Amino acid sequence: MRYQRPKGTADILPGDSEKWQYVEQTARDLFKTYQFKEIRTPMFENFEVFSRSAGDTSDIVTKEMYDFHDKGDRHVTLRPEGTAGVVRAFVENKLYGPQVLKPYKVYYMGPMFRYERPQSGRLREFHQLGVEAFGSESAALDVEVIAMGYNLLKKFGLNDLKLAINTLGDQQTRDDYRQALIDYLEPHFEELSDDSKERLHKNPLRVLDSKAPEDQKFVADAPSILDYLTPEAKDHFDQAKAYLEALDIPYEVDATMVRGLDYYNHTIFEIMTNSKSLGQGYTTICAGGRYNGLVKELGGPEVSGVGFGLGVERLLVLMDAENVTVPTDDSLDVYVVGIGETASATTLKLVQAVRGAGFTAERDYLDRKPKAQFKSADRLNARYTMTVGETEMADQVVNMKEMATGEERQVAMADIFNHVDQILTSK
Ligand code: ATP
Ligand code: MG
């Protein structure tokens, strides 16, 4: 039998994993400047955590979840997204308590699982970087979160980005708009896609999110939610727009944008690219918004939240397509060339001494001739070689060569064991 990785999964090999590390480290550094701290929650949760939060009619819950009954007959789900688990943790650990500083700001990064049809930038196991901030209703926090996503993508050298924003308003807005949509769509019921027929009464906003071609013309002419905003909802949205302008972050208002998850309200946003590498048209890399009802939905008090999720695979596809180079550090400080079997223990002690001082070191493990070892040193981009054979061992020295210049000198082994840092940095 030939073993293959499951459909929709990927092996991330050396050569690529450096790109992942770069993305993760850059994100960590940026999030730190915004005072977001890392949270790690389980890779699986009880099914209800997702069905409650994403909404029973969302695509994620109805079609895409990896859920199963474990040996104790518990209905569990591999997390399809990060927010629900973070909110569950927020509630369970009472992070809304009076002794916790508000807003409570966290980020996460890790694998998510969705049963989808795999294609470029769409996998069954994929990775998200995400942030969540709890406990402030300020539109300034919405904009801070948007700015984080936007600036992160800019840091990766991506410039051709489109930020689309919309508002889903407050409860009153949604109730009014929901009715307006039903009134508008009902006469066209028979012409809608099967999915949208089902959504019409359960969750008409979701019809706007439909990708079915037959629904598109109705989406285009649908009433705009912006006409149903309550004064408070309009005010929040106006503030968010004003803050974006204050930060010189260009945006477009897309009144038909609703987002795939049910828990959003007020500001929602997507950062998109029209790079061909991810298919025709605009593809979303980073998406999020405000979800003021979610903490309560998962059993907590009325605490608001705002956040985003960013797809790492899509980001990497895009960075490749845009020829963004990732700074790599694959240089080697020292290659120790050992001549003859008797040198092996000394060679080992030398590489260990170099490593112990915080430098990178490599040696031969295949009994190769010195010439072949020097070749390896070259291929590994070694800064220095240190050669030890019988003579050097007898004299307790190594022959040290700077590869760039070819300059050679003898260095006492004791010096390497005691202060190799001085030897390697003295140049
Ligand atoms: P789409 O409409 O493309 O299916 P979505 O609305 O389902 O996206 P979200 O749930 O908002 O996506 O997830 C946020 C981000 O996570 C997306 O913008 C995307 O970058 C990434 N993402 C979502 N699903 C996948 C997947 N199956 N494979 C890779 N990345 C994904
Ligand atoms: Mg999706």
Q: Can you tell me whether residue 240 is helix, strand or coil?
A: helix
pLDDT category at 218 given cuts 50, 70, 90 is confident
CA of 312 to the centre of ligand 1 (A): 10
Angle subtended by helix axes 194-202 and 171-185, to nearest 10 = 140
Average pLDDT, the chain: 93
- Residue pair 66/39 in contact by the 8 Å Cβ criterion: no
Tokens of 423: 């030897």
* 283 CB-contact burial (10 Å; exposed 0-12 / middle 13-18 / buried 19+): buried
- Residue pair 292/306 in contact by the 8 Å Cβ criterion: no
Say if ligand 1 is within 6 A of residue 273 CB: no
- Residue pair 160/275 in contact by the 8 Å Cβ criterion: yes
Say if ligand 1 is within 6 A of residue 149 CB: no
- C-alpha 315/C-alpha 152 separation (Å) is 11
Say if ligand 1 is within 6 A of residue 287 CB: yes
Length of the chain: 427
- Residue pair 62/138 in contact by the 8 Å Cβ criterion: no
Q: For residue range 33-70, what is the model confidence (pLDDT) as tens digits? A: 999 999 999 999 999 999 988 877 678 888 999 999 99
- C-alpha 44/C-alpha 78 separation (Å) is 4
pLDDT category at 261 given cuts 50, 70, 90 is low
- Residue pair 108/87 in contact by the 8 Å Cβ criterion: no
Once rounded to an integer, what is the mean pLDDT over residues 78-92?
A: 97
CA-based nearest residue to 361, from 344, 341, 340, 386: 386
Q: H helices within 255-358, ranges in order?
A: 294-297, 312-321, 344-356
Give the rounded distance of the alpha carbon of 304 from its chain centre.
23
Say if ligand 1 is within 6 A of residue 128 CB: yes
Q: For residue range 149-208, what is the model confidence (pLDDT) as tens digits? A: 999 999 998 888 999 999 999 989 989 999 999 999 999 999 999 989 988 888 888 888
Residue 377: the pLDDT is: 97
Annotated binding site for L-histidine: 81-83, 114, 128, 132, 259, 263-264
User: What 8-state DSSP symbol labels residue 63?
Assistant: I
pLDDT category at 307 given cuts 50, 70, 90 is very high
| CB-based burial, 175-199: b 16+ in 10 Å, e otherwise | ebbbebbeeebeeeeeebbebbeeb
Give the rounded distance of the alpha carbon of 88 from its chain centre.
20
| CB-based burial, 368-382: b 16+ in 10 Å, e otherwise | eeeeebbebbeeeeb
User: What 8-state DSSP symbol labels residue 64?
Assistant: I
Spell out the residues 6+ positions from residue 16 whose beta carbon is closer than 8 angstroms to its own. Answer: 316
**What's the pTM?**
0.91
State the amino acid at position 191 in one-letter form.
E
pLDDT category at 262 given cuts 50, 70, 90 is low
Residue 161: the pLDDT is: 93
Domains of the chain are 17-170+230-321 (3.30.930.10), 332-425 (3.40.50.800)
Q: For residue range 337-393, what is the model confidence (pLDDT) as tens digits? A: 999 989 999 999 999 999 999 999 999 999 999 999 999 999 999 999 999 999 999
Residue 406: the pLDDT is: 95
pLDDT category at 210 given cuts 50, 70, 90 is confident
CA of 107 to the centre of ligand 1 (A): 17
